[in-house]
Every structure is written in structure tokens, then in C-alpha cells.
Amino acid sequence: MTNALNFLNGISGEVPRTGNQRLFLPKVDWNINDTNTFTATYNHLRWNSPAGVQTQAINTRARDNFGDDGVNIDSLNLRLASTISSTLINEFRYQWGRDNEFQISQPPLPGEPTNSVGGRSPQTFITNGFSFGIPEFLERAVISE
Amino acid sequence: MRCSTPGAVPDGTFGLISFRGISGLLNNNTIDGGDNNQAFFAEERGRTRISYSISQSAIREFQVNTSSYSAEYGRSAGGVVNAITKSGTNEFHGDAFYFQRNNKWGARNPRSFVTQNVGGVFTPVAFKPEDVRHQFGGTIGGPIVHDKAFFFFSYDEQRRNFPGVSTFTALDFLNRADTCALTAAAGAAITLATCPAYPGTAGRQPHGIH
């Protein structure tokens, strides 16, 4: 009994968790002539959040039961704005974009069983108490738009 | 800012916005007129886990179309939010910013505890983890060829350190189980709720779990 409680105590506590995001956006405008302007914009985003699937301050999940979170977004917008006449304008737009979102499980903690898929610890619930192992909603591979 | 628009209200607690009572999943988010939606959930790209998908300092203006908008917009039962990015001009312009949010000046979450084995007794101990955010970046724009071609560049970074606290539904879960196990007959089932509470923790449960 004491060993079991010490094990549960060992997989609770402070969970290292960060959330880092980097964005950059270069843009070029080119006045081709008096009636046409071409614009190219690229937007880049990287979000990496170890243990960041669960964002609550406090959680009844073990230290390896939060899940890692990530997002990669890239988009390229090309636009040609044209003044055709004093009463008519046109804007031609082209876009290439992707939005990759993924969530992966964390490796098992010492003492946890490793007999689930990929050597992970199986999801285990202590009813009305605590849960540990690989969360039931992971792995979430990339969902790409 | 969007919520200051008449007919716009928060939808849930995860950052979605409802226009005219329509689900927050039925809006259209565009940048410079180009699509910026996460196709599956029809939210902004990256959904609500990221802070934002485009730097605020790269935005020149934005418009919120709540209803009866032009056929140029559409693709939405709710609102259409379009953001316009800044451009370079004949003069060099730039800005830099740094924001910090730090719980060093905030109170401890009263429900935040960790359990420590103190002299063989599983003891709930009050705990205040770090929570600090740094947000920094800037923009620069100017001419490539006077009156002809212009550039603009925006950089934005956020770094947040916010350790979580893994705890039990009852703050003294381990202590109760341990106390009961010491006194229960061999093989007897333990009902946690009837085990004696650790002093000072009765009725105090973490994170809204009762």
C-alpha cells in the first residue's frame, strides 16, 4: 500500500510546461504602373508547448498525462490590385497556406508500465481521484488544412 | 476589440466570439481578404491554443462585418472579420515592443497544493508555481525603390513558462487512503470519503472538483 501511494505521489507534483510562439511576416508592395499594384505577403507561425495540451493551473492528471502541443502555420498571399477604369477595379488574389496542428503524448515516468502502443504507459483512471499514462485522446497526428 | 461590436459576445470561455447569437464556429476570419480559417472547426488558424496567428503590430486596421455584408465577404453564417496588414512607405518606419506578465506580483492559487511525504505522512503543501510571459518584437518598413516598391517586416515572439500542478481530486487523497489503509481490516474496501481528512483540508478541493 505504501509503495502504491509513494508511486502516485511520485507522478504528481509540479509539471514543467512552457508555451513559446514565434511569428514573422515579410511583405513587399510593388507599384507596377499607375494602375496595377502587386503585393506579396508571407506569414510564418511556430507554436511549441511541451505539456501544454492541458492549460489549467491545476489538473488531476499525472505529470506525464498533460500532452505536448504544437502548431505550424505558413501562408503566402499574392494580390494584384488593378484600376480598370474610373468606375471599375479588380483584385486578383492567390493564396497558399497550411495549418498543421498536432498533440503528442509524453514519455512514461519511472515506475509506470510501458506496455501500451509505442512503449507508452496505458491510460489509467483512479475513479474520482487521478489519472496517469497516455491520455485517451492522444496521439493526435498532424491535421493539415 | 471585436466584442465591442454591437451583437458580438464571447462564445464559451476559450476565446471564440458569437455574432448575432450564431455559433462561434460559423465565422469567417480573413487577412488582407485571404482565408485565415482552420478548415475543420472554422476558427482562426491554429485555433485557440495559440495566442494569435498574426502579430498585432503588423495590423494596420481591421473590420468586423456582423450582418448584411457585401457579396465580397460571405462564407459565413456569423460574422466576417478581416484584418489589413501594414505596408512600407517612402519613409522608414518601425516600432519595437516588450510586454511582461508575471505572477510574482499575484496571489497564490488557493487550490494549488502538492503532496509531500513528510516523516511518513502524505502532507498537502501549498505551492505557487512560476507563471511568466515575455512578449517582444517589432516592425520595420520602408522603400526599396522610391515611389515604386516597398518592404515591410514584422517579428513577434512569446515565451511563457507556466508549470502546471498535478494533484488529486481530494487535496489529501493520499493521506486519506494511507490513514484508512492503516486502520482497515485486511481485504476490506476503503471508501475515501469516509476516511479522516488531513487537518485543515476538509471541504477544500482542487480546480472546481467537488
> How many Cβ atoms sit within 10 Å of the Cβ of residue B181?
15
- CA A22, distance to chain mean position in Å, is 12
pLDDT reading at B137 higher than 70: yes
Taking alpha carbons only, the member of B28, B148, B33, B144 closest to residue B85 is B33
So what's the ipTM on this one? 0.89
- Location of C-alpha cell 486502520: B183
A63–B160 C-beta distance less than 8 A: no
Q: Does A17 touch chain B (CB under 8 A)?
A: yes
Q: Which of A22, A27, A41 minimises the CB distance to B157?
A: A22
DSSP conformation class of A61: B
Residues of chain A with Cβ-Cβ distance to B111 below 8 Å are 58
Minimum CA–CA partner of B187 in chain A: A1
Q: Please confirm whether the linkage preceding A139 is cis (ω < 30° from 0).
A: yes
Where are the domains positioned within chain B? 2-85, 94-194
Q: Give B81-112 pLDDT, tens digit per residue.
A: 999 999 999 999 999 999 999 999 999 888 88
Residues 131-170 of B with CB under 8 A from A: 131, 137, 144, 147-170
Digit-coded pLDDT (tens) for A78-113 = 999 999 999 999 999 999 999 999 999 999 998 888
Name the residue range of residue A106's domain.
Answer: 2-144
Q: Which of B95, B68, B192, B113 is nearest to B153 (CA)?
A: B95
A144 interfaces chain B, CB cutoff of 8 Å: no
Assessment of whether the complete model's pTM goes beyond 0.95: no
- At B154-187, the pLDDT tens digits run 999 999 999 999 988 877 888 888 888 777 777 7
More confident residue, A141 or A56: A56
pLDDT, mean of residues B178-207:
72
Provide the domain count of chain A.
Answer: 1
Q: CB distance B40–A145 less than 8 Å?
A: yes
Q: Which of B31, B38, B177 sits opposite A145 (nearest CB)?
A: B38
